Amino acid sequence: MIRHIVLLKARPEVTEDHLEAIFADLHALHLPGLLALHSGRSESPEQIERGYLHGFTVDFADWQALAAYQSHPDHQRVGRALVAAAEGGIDGILVFDLPIEDAP
């Protein structure tokens, strides 16, 4: 399994409602190999997000499913909305893909 982790540092004028709408659009994606999706605002008691207060994780069955997601037009549309909402565009987004060996 691959856990795709995306963190977003939103521009100050971007509202919570706007971010929730982007995440709702993301949750509407139903692609083969997409196992689970979670999104929201950080609630970390450590408070060391460094401005990356929103994010999401997507679990994929394998690297091929992640590749299919990345090239899918609906993902690209949501990606453009995320970049537009991010402080500094793409510079306000972090992506980390973590292979999970012992996934159920």
Give residue 43's pLDDT. Answer: 95
Give residue 69's pLDDT. Answer: 95
Q: Which pLDDT tens digit goes with each residue over 9-26?
A: 999 999 999 999 999 999
- Does 103 have pLDDT greater than 70? no
Give residue 68's pLDDT. Answer: 95
SS3 content of the chain, % helix, strand, coil (to 5): 35, 30, 35
Give residue 10's pLDDT. Answer: 98
Mean pLDDT of the chain: 95
In the chain the first and final C-alpha atoms are separated, in Å, by: 9
Give the CA radius of gyration of the chain: 14
- Does 39 have pLDDT greater than 80? yes
Give the orientation angle of helix 73-85 with respect to helix 63-71, to 10 degrees.
70
- As a whole number of angstroms, the distance between CA 88 and CA 62 comes to 31
